[in-house]
Amino acid sequence: MMNDRFDSAPVVEPLSADRRQRIRTAVLEGISTGTERSSRRRTTQIAGAMAAVTVLGVGVAIGTNVLRNQQSLVPLAAAAGSMPVSAAECSPAETTDPGALEGATYLLQPPTPAALSDVWMTVDECPRATPVAAFFRADGSPEDAVLTIWSGDAQTPLGPLENFEGAERVALGSGAEDAWLVDLGWGVWVEWRTDAGSYLVTSAGLDRDTVTSVAGSYEGETSARATVLAPPGLQALSPLPSSDRDATWSAKYGNNDPTEKDGEPWVQIHVELRGAPWAAQASINPIPADGLTVPTPSRTAMRSGDNGGFRYATWTTDTGARVQVMANLPESEVRELAGRLKLVGPHDPQLDRFDLATPRTGAPAL
């Protein structure tokens, strides 16, 4: 059995063995206090663990559970790199909705080296914070800027902004309630609620007046139905992810249980809808001294190689989906097949004989 291989994983700074063990202990303690499956419960547990992890990195003595001890405020230094999460309740029934796979269902354009033999999907029962609007200015200078609006009952993994040092209430208008702002020095973040849910703006390189103006102008629930005032001098990032769930999609051609020595061609496509577009990730960190770098995700920038006798090609799409093609074919042919992938709808006729509405557990993976 092989393991999925993606070479575009984020680079992390090495940790000492002692610090790694302390972080691991803090996280385990933070998530071992209950078994509820809701994102809100999970967020509370992780927030406590992350607060303990933060003090290891910034040397600030705060409580290990920020959400339960309102007098222990989250230090501003902890905000950088905090990817927003969803505090919405999990809903297992929605894991059977093929619509959650929008942007993931890739198939080979004919001719194919073998017949389509199997497809399967997995969709996380718990929603994620979703970027519904993103703007950036990337001139390669310290004056660059970026802003992202997150929906899906979004909040930081360290809890609501009101728990941060220096948090202050602000008035946004447009039906916004309970709005809070935190000025991090390098960026301004704003959080508010409406009848449709809670929202979060993360930004870097922008002043508070600009950020609050954008937040106050936002109306909508998803990127397809959102209207928002663009920050002056910034351009919109498009497209954005359409799914509010982590999901995976796999399609297999040929032998359903391949080995390296198979004589017949075998191909598998594997797609992961996880993470966030580059601008959304940039908005949770200070602007680098040399400015923002705009990546150009495309199949022309794919990575390829050999993974235990099977050749692979992998790349990241504009929406942050990670795509991989693996086969028992020469690497040049795998790259050629990758160039012939086509995004189809989950109701494409080629998929009619497969039951996408019943996600399988324990499906074979590369």
Question: pLDDT tens digits for the chain (366 residues)?
Answer: 343 333 333 333 334 445 444 444 444 444 334 334 344 444 444 444 444 333 333 333 233 333 334 458 999 999 999 999 998 888 764 555 666 777 788 999 999 999 999 998 888 888 889 898 999 999 999 999 999 999 878 999 999 999 999 999 999 876 788 899 999 999 999 999 888 788 999 999 999 999 999 999 988 655 456 688 899 999 999 878 767 788 889 999 998 666 666 678 999 999 998 778 889 999 999 999 999 998 876 766 789 999 877 899 998 887 778 999 999 899 999 999 999 999 888 778 898 888 775 544 433 333
- Tell me which DSSP letter residue 225 carries: G
* 322-327 vs 310-316, strand pairing mode: antiparallel
Q: State the Cα–Cα distance between residues 301 and 316, nearest whole angstrom.
A: 9
Half-sphere exposure of 162 (CA within 13 A, CB side): 10
Range of the domain at 254: 94-126+242-277+286-351
Give per-residue burial for 218-234: e unless 16+ CB within 10 Å, then b.
bebbebeeeebeebeeb
3-state secondary structure of 231: coil
Flag whether 177 is in a domain. no
3-state secondary structure of 91: coil
Strand order in the sheet with 303-307: 116-127, 245-253, 267-273, 322-327, 310-316, 303-307
3-state secondary structure of 347: coil
Give per-residue burial for 93-106: e unless 16+ CB within 10 Å, then b.
ebbebbebbbbbbb
Flag whether 59 is in a domain. yes
**Do 31 and 104 fall into the same domain?**
no
**Do 57 and 103 fall into the same domain?**
no
Report the candidate in 246, 291, 254 with the shortest Cα–Cα distance to residue 272: 246
Report the candidate in 148, 282, 280 with the shortest Cα–Cα distance to residue 215: 148
Percentages helix, strand, coil for the chain (3-state, rounded to 5) are: 20, 30, 50
| CA distance to 155, 243, 356, per residue, from 120 (Å) | 31, 17, 6
The overall pTM is greater than 0.75: no
Q: Are 237 and 296 in contact (CB under 8 A)?
A: no
**Do 103 and 67 fall into the same domain?**
no
Flag whether 170 is in a domain. no
**Do 266 and 304 fall into the same domain?**
yes
Flag whether 161 is in a domain. no
Flag whether 140 is in a domain. no
| CA distance to 93, 191, 231, 270, 282, per residue, from 211 (Å) | 37, 11, 8, 38, 16
Flag whether 147 is in a domain. no
Instruction: Give phi and psi for 41, each to the nearest 5.
Output: -65, -45
